[in-house]
A and B are shown apart, each in its own frame.
Chain A
Amino acid sequence: MSSASLCEHPLSSDASDLRNRRDMRRLFIALICVLVGVGIQMVHSASLTSMPSRADSVFLSRHLTYLAFSICCGFVAAQMRPAQLQRLARPALFVLTGLLILVLVPGVGSRVNGAQRWIRVNGLSVQPSELGRLILPLAAADLLVRCRAAGYRIRTLPGILLPPILVLPLVAQEPDLGATVFLGISYLMALFIGGWPLRYFALTAGLAIPAAGGLLILKPYQLQRISGFVAAWQDLSKAPWQIRQSLLSLGAGGLQGTGIGSGWQKLSYLPEANTDFVFAVIGEELGLAGTLTLVILWAGVLLTGRAALAHLRPQSFAWTFGQTLLLQLILQALINVAVVTAMVPPKGVPHPFISYGGTNLLVNVTAAGLIVAMARSGDGPP
């Protein structure tokens, strides 16, 4: 892999290298744009229902509105400098904690299907836990850089683990188990990338596994979800409705798909067709050709993003933050596809850039902007 050679000369910045990096950045942005484009098409198609109404087209226009706003945020994010971001880390963490508390306040947070996850202001809804996907890695990168000088002593441990300890219980309280797990994993990923000593991971695992076990005992419906998922492997008819419909949609698409807009499952059988299960709609309408193309796109995003970040000094703030955001994006897509193909138990994880969804789209586009910002930071003043 070419990245290995780049790592050995992390600070080289001759002209061709610079151009190469810029090309990688542009390729990365282009790939993201392709995904966003696919997203627009699929949100439009997947929002159709068996009883066409005005509501179907509302999704597309809302999606486009969110997208425009997200692109603005992403553009602003791309102009940020690592130092500015580092200064923002702590205030952002407190703002996040504040918002998460606010969500739980009755009357402020809006309740949908028994979960209190959204703050609605003037018809715009914000999901604070989504913001955690930007702010937790930011906090992790900031803390790691600060603590590195001390060599990650044991007394730094509480400080480093403070952000998740503040945020995760609040998210779990909403309740949003999927987001809790995902945020926990991405925070650990940030620590791992940032060079946190492995012994501490062992320690964290020792604490986290019993906690997870306890949670399963306390909330048996979670266990039921998992057992239902296992059943889907053995007998399709016993699988939970969502999983079954998702697999049927993929299978119905076959090799070439039914064509854009002519999928049948999304019309009513497949729930959450335009959000968490949009990939199944792609599977039905574009077939194996479409789904594999998407897999290749994501691999491309991973490799170009990695190449664009390769010139940064490892373990620097920009490098840690950029790599974490990149891998987090890929991980989200990976988990989403794994859920849709019944490889992991169902969890509410949208497909980045493609699923309909306000805060999620905003966070992902901003994350992409931040990755670009980090990638540009080594170029010197623009």
Chain B
Amino acid sequence: MKTSGTASASRRVTFLTALMLLGWTILAGRLIHLQAHQRRILHSHADRQSTYTEVLRARPGEILDRNGHVLAMSVTRNSVYAVPSRIDDAREFAWKAASVTGVDAAELLHRLRAAKNRHFLWICRRVSDDVARKFRDLNLPPRTWGFRQEYLRQYPQGSVAAHVLGIRDIDNRGHGGLEEFFDDRLRGRDGQRVLTRDARGVVVEVESAASITPVHGRSVVCTIDLLTQIALERQLEHIMDRWTPVGGACGIVMDPRSGDILAMASRPDFDPNTPADAADHAWTNLTISAMFEPGSTFKPLIVGWALDQGVLNRSDMIRCFSGAYRMGSRILRDHHAFHLLSVEDVLVRSSNIGMARIAERLGLDGLYNGTIAFGFGRRTGIELPGELTGLVRDRRHWNLYSLGSVPMGQEIAVTPLQLITAHAVLAGDGRLMRPHLLLPDTERMGTASATEPPPRSAAAQVESTVLRPQTAAWLVRHPMKQVVERGTGTAARIPGLSVFGKTGTAQKIDPETGTYSDSRHICSFLCGAPAENPEVLVLIVVDEPTAPGGHYGGTVAAPAAARVLQNALERSRRLRRTRTIRPEDDLPVRLQ
């Protein structure tokens, strides 16, 4: 009994021992499973919970006008975040935070609860300094919230040059204008910082090897002159009030010698600081995306082409058939019954019949080639997104009808920028320039590195020579100057200045009848000065003015254009003496 009892007791211990050894074997197997087979996946899990990649935002570059006035800049603003994992009373936190930031309290509470184990949650981004101070004064529990600095795009001049600038969104992407076109240059490159954090979210270490320094965006200095721009905007504003045009209005100021765009504006406009408030059609930059029949402003170009092609002499007299001229099945009419007009007077009187007679000498091929030579039917290549090509129908579709229509600026559609660029040929020694917004020698502002290759728009500004300089000069000094002296553009006369110009009044196609409307016009006026050596060219286009008082380019657009011209000329002279004015030397201007 006793021996069997002790033997069984021994067996029991052996059994337990075996059980223990079995247990250890199983655990050893489990350890091999975890530490050998699953080690990679577990390791990556462990890494993921302790490393955190923080994006270091690149500061977007500024956009400056030609004198260094800031048109667009980025300022640092505080963004408020919460640390949900450390918040004890989410309800109170949400209520207090919402009271100063204007965030919806219920929504914030919901977000806080959904993320209650996380260490980071945005409450409100890019708040004003005032809100930041109020938030600080809430005295919420320490370490449950914090500020992080982010960049906020600001346009200190408000809506001035809005269409040229475009906007930069919250993700640092440019939309429209220079912001979009020079996005790569302005945006810079975000960096990153890899942090190791402990379980409480406290940063323990910065992994410098995996961190990347952000490359801040570079500045863009554009050809815009802020004061000229403001003058243009004011005149457009005035036109909008006075004439209440249906389709808006736009204007361009250009230096015909270089192709620099000194000002460019479009109405209706928007304030890039509050893009959400902008109306849909306000985004359109009419100067590059409005297409209209140029009308009479087209005439000097064709005359110039005909003179250069040798089919016309300045001294030729054109017979105008007393105001009615039959071309095939069509009868062309003039405003007045002219009998015989000089080439100069064809332009000054804006005779349609005279132009048709000149076009007959050119023939369809000559007319077509001339139209193309002045750059119509293709983009000018300005540094703006969304530029349209205008419309020049293929040569095959031109017919006898075209011979009468095209020389008086019908049957083709142009953008305002194309029109002023073509006129810059006349004002600028017969060369077709590429209009541009980027100031070519940006280096002088000290904002770009010297090793950088010159921007593409500065490389080839002269595209081709279209007219002989003498022809161009003659057109400007004689017929176009006479337009202002005694023709349709007398409203643009400026005492003491030799202004040249050309009016344009094109009928719009009535969408109901499909024919030219008698009441809907696009009025334009192009002028420049001084005629002897043009420095500034101004174009103003008004789409369908509705207020009573005449709908001619000479009445609607010319006075405004003249004022812009005068202003721009004064600026141009002032700037010429000191080409590199620093902003502090220039007039301090803030529209706001």
Identify the A interface with B (CB < 8 A). Answer: 1, 3-4, 7, 10, 49-51, 189, 192-195, 236, 247-255, 264-265, 267-269, 283, 287-288, 291-292, 295, 298-299, 302, 306, 313-315, 319, 323, 327, 330-331, 334, 337-338, 341, 343
Contacts and interface: CB of A to CB of B under 8 A. Distances in A.
Interface residues of B, number: 40
B138 interface: no
Contact of B9 (A50, A295, A315, A330): A315
B157 to A, nearest CB: 50
Contacts of A291: 31, 35
A331 B20 contact: yes
15 contacts: A3-B14, A193-B16, A250-B34, A252-B43, A254-B39, A268-B198, A283-B31, A292-B31, A295-B27, A298-B24, A314-B9, A315-B6, A327-B13, A327-B17, A334-B27
Interface string B13-32: 11011001101101110111
Contact of A251 (B5, B27, B45, B204): B45
Contacts of B43: 251-252, 254
Given A193-B12, A195-B12, A248 B27 contact: no
A234 to B, nearest CB: 14
Contacts of B26: 343
Contacts of A252: 39, 42-43, 46-47
B171 to A, nearest CB: 30
Contacts, number: 133
Contacts of B517: none
B17 A302 contact: yes
A267 B204 CA distance: 10
A254 B36 CA distance: 6
B113 to A, nearest CB: 19
A43 to B, nearest CB: 20
Nearest to A271: B199
B9 A269 contact: no
Nearest to B38: A251
B577 interface: no
A50 B34 contact: no
Contacts of A51: 198, 202
Given A251-B46, A264-B46, A315 B5 contact: yes
Interface of B: 5-10, 12-14, 16-17, 20-21, 23-24, 26-28, 30-32, 34-36, 38-39, 41-43, 45-47, 49-50, 196, 198-200, 202, 204
B42 A251 contact: yes
Best-surrounded residue of A50, A192, A313, A331 (most CB of chain B within 10 A): A50
Given A299-B24, A327-B17, A327-B20, A50 B198 contact: yes
Contacts of B38: 251
Best-surrounded residue of B5, B34, B45 (most CB of chain A within 10 A): B34
A323 B24 contact: no
Contact of B27 (A192, A288, A337): A337
Nearest to A337: B27
Contacts of A337: 27
B23 A334 contact: yes
Contacts of A330: 20
Contacts of A295: 24, 27-28, 31
B8 A195 contact: yes
Contacts of A334: 20, 23-24, 27
Contacts of B31: 250, 283, 288, 291-292, 295, 341
